[in-house]
């Protein structure tokens, strides 16, 4: 059966309604995937390319609050930050060469799949709610021994965590000396704004930009990481890419990679 564009739109709308009635996370995720790919089937073209999955489109889907244009890959679900990170790991191969155990927090499906290309890397996936992870746990209280991991990936998670300083200390604790962590968050201000008294999703949406966020990070985010013990590098990797490539992959032109390391303690 051939699905014409008008039918695709109707089917996508019906699927989106079904998402709201499904009770399990896995059901909702599967329906969202189907709806996303149906929308992508209307965007045939070659103007943009997703480096995570290799698919090309006329444009990417809008995503976010408020919606960002050209943000979401219809096939694999990669956003700007995921596309940037995958390019970064590809062009910084030394980062993964020495990694044996990698802690992947709230693992993104496409990054999780792509990391399987490195058979020497054992990814330990964790999340508080996500189905299919190896360990369900709270980032504020990780169930791992100190110095367990060679590397950590944690993208846009800390803005959801009530005590982010405790979570940062936990990430530092489980990282091996000499290891690295990429800890990305959205930064929209000069100084971080948070208020633990704000509990309702509507108020969090109004104040923090998303119903499940508990703060809006500012440029002092890097100081928080340093206070947890990390040596922090703000890698402007995207500025090393040609403008045509930034446009082709629909990257945010000013996004930096937050590369953190756990250095040997200085003996006094």
% residues pLDDT > 90 (the chain):
77
Summarize pLDDT for 181-201 with one digit per residue, the tens. Answer: 999 999 999 999 999 999 999
CA distance 161 to 144: 18
- Quick check: 237 and 84 in contact, CB under 8 A? yes
- Quick check: 86 and 111 in contact, CB under 8 A? yes
- Give the pLDDT mean for 49-56: 98
Confidence of residue 22 (pLDDT cuts 50, 70, 90): low
**Is residue 126 pLDDT above 60, yes or no?**
yes
Q: Regarding predicted confidence, which is higher, 132 or 99?
A: 99
Per DSSP, the three-state class of 194 is strand
| Closest-CA residue to 29 (of 138, 160, 129) | 129
Give the chain's mean pLDDT: 91
| Closest-CA residue to 248 (of 74, 88, 84, 89) | 84
226 CB neighbour count, 10 Å cutoff? 13
- Give the pLDDT mean for 135-151: 97
Domains of the chain and CATH, by start: 5-72 (no CATH), 80-261 (3.40.50.150)
pLDDT value of position 14: 55
Confidence of residue 6 (pLDDT cuts 50, 70, 90): low
Asked which of 3-12, 122-131, 137-146, 165-174 is least confident by mean pLDDT, the reply is 3-12
pLDDT value of position 20: 58
60 contact partners, CB below 8 Å, separation of at least 6: 43, 48, 50, 70, 71, 72, 73, 74, 250
Confidence of residue 266 (pLDDT cuts 50, 70, 90): low
């Amino acid at each position: 059966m051939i699905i014409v564009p008008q039918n695709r739109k109707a089917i996508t709308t019906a699927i989106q309604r079904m998402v709201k009635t499904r009770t399990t996370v896995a059901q909702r995720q599967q329906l969202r995937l189907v709806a996303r790919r149906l929308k992508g089937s209307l965007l045939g073209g070659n103007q943009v390319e997703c480096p995570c999955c290799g698919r090309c489109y006329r444009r990417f889907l809008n995503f976010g609050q408020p919606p960002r244009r050209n943000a979401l890959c219809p096939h694999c679900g990669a956003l700007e930050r995921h596309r940037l990170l995958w390019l970064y790991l590809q062009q910084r191969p030394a980062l993964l060469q020495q990694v044996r155990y990698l802690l992947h927090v709230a693992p993104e499906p496409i990054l999780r799949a792509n990391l399987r290309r490195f058979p020497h890397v054992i990814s330990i996936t964790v999340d508080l709610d996500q189905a299919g992870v190896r360990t369900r746990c709270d980032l504020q209280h990780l169930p791992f021994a100190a110095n367990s991991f060679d590397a950590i990936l944690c993208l846009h998670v800390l803005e959801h965590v009530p005590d982010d300083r405790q979570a940062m200390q936990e990430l530092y604790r489980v990282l091996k000396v000499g290891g690295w962590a990429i800890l990305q968050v959205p930064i929209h201000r000069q100084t971080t704004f948070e208020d633990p008294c704000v509990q309702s999703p509507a108020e969090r949406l109004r104040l923090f930009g998303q119903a499940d966020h508990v703060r809006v990070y500012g440029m002092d985010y890097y100081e928080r990481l340093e206070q947890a013990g990390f040596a922090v590098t703000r890698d402007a990797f995207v500025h090393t890419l040609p403008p045509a490539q930034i446009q082709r992959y629909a990257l945010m032109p000013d996004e930096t990679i937050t590369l953190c390391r756990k250095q040997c303690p200085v003996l006094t």
